[in-house]
Amino acid sequence: MTDRTLAEILADIDSPVATTRVSPVWMQGRAAFGGLGAAMAAKGMRTLLAEEKPMRSLMVSFVGPIPAEDVTVRSELLREGKNVTQATVRIMAGDAVCLQAAAAFGDARDTKSAAPTAEFNAEPRDSVPSVEAVRAPVPPFISNFDVHWTGGGIPMSNTGARRLGQWVRNKTDMSVFPLEKIVAIADIPPPIILAHYDQRVLASSLSWSLEFVRPAHEVASDWFYLDYDLDAAAGGYCQQSGRIFTEDGDLVALSRQCMTYFE
């Protein structure tokens, strides 16, 4: 099977019900990278919009593994208001639901505002080589991105870290997919609880929420800095939150994720 770029996969999703093919380069274990599925879902819901509106929030439930084969993206409009449009989508492999998501798209209104309070404390990108350059044991999907892991939280390091920092960009041209390029990148960090182990531990995403502070089409940056924290972990479930910044330090989006891990 020929490898496909993120842009090629997304280009197939041009209607509310569309089929696209996932290639093996996007796999992590038996499932495709969750950020790929979320980006596919976002593209599917965008096909429902009569006019382009910025995505304000995305809520994803990872129901089952997305396989490396043809999958169907089925999107449905829930409500279209004067400013806000809400939609839902399912990604199907045959009759099996792999991913279900919902999103709210909303036009801006004239209101008072409050500046983001999140601090940008990124380590220099060139302080470490790219993940690919150091030949770390990483899942195949990482080869689709440039990743400089600068802030700790490395799985199996047994450091007990509570924070992770990464500089990331897409290797393929994503200029026609400004929303999806951010969605895919924001899901790259693994569960930070894995840094509390000295051996491999199986883990997977259960649910994910991504909220946009800035409309994606206004973001020109290709490099993004991911600053993520482990909030809690117990009983095989962990919660972590994150902030996605542009290269210039502007806050783009806020991430919140529930993940499972198995000893």
What residue has token string 């806050």? Answer: 251
Query: Distance between CA 229 and CA 26 in Å, rounded?
Result: 25
29-43 pLDDT, tens digit per residue, is 889 999 999 999 999
- Domains for the chain: give ranges and CATH numbers: 6-107+129-262 (2.40.160.210)
Evaluate whether 108 touches 136 at the Cβ level (below 8 Å).
no
* 58 — pLDDT class (breaks 50, 70, 90): very high
pTM: 0.95
Whether 110 contacts 61, CB under 8 Å = no
Residue 203: pLDDT band with limits 50, 70, 90? very high
Query: Residue 122: CA atoms inside 13 Å, Cβ hemisphere, count?
Result: 24
- In the DSSP assignment, the letter for residue 12 is T
Dump pLDDT digits (tens) for 83-113.
999 999 999 999 999 999 999 999 999 999 9
**For the chain, where are the alpha helices, taking DSSP H only?**
6-11, 34-46, 178-186
Is the distance from CB of 103 to CB of 209 less than 8 angstroms? no
Q: Nearest Cα to 186, choosing from 209, 204, 202, 206?
A: 209
First to last CA, the chain: 34
- With H, G, I as helix, E, B as strand and everything else as coil, classify residue 26: helix
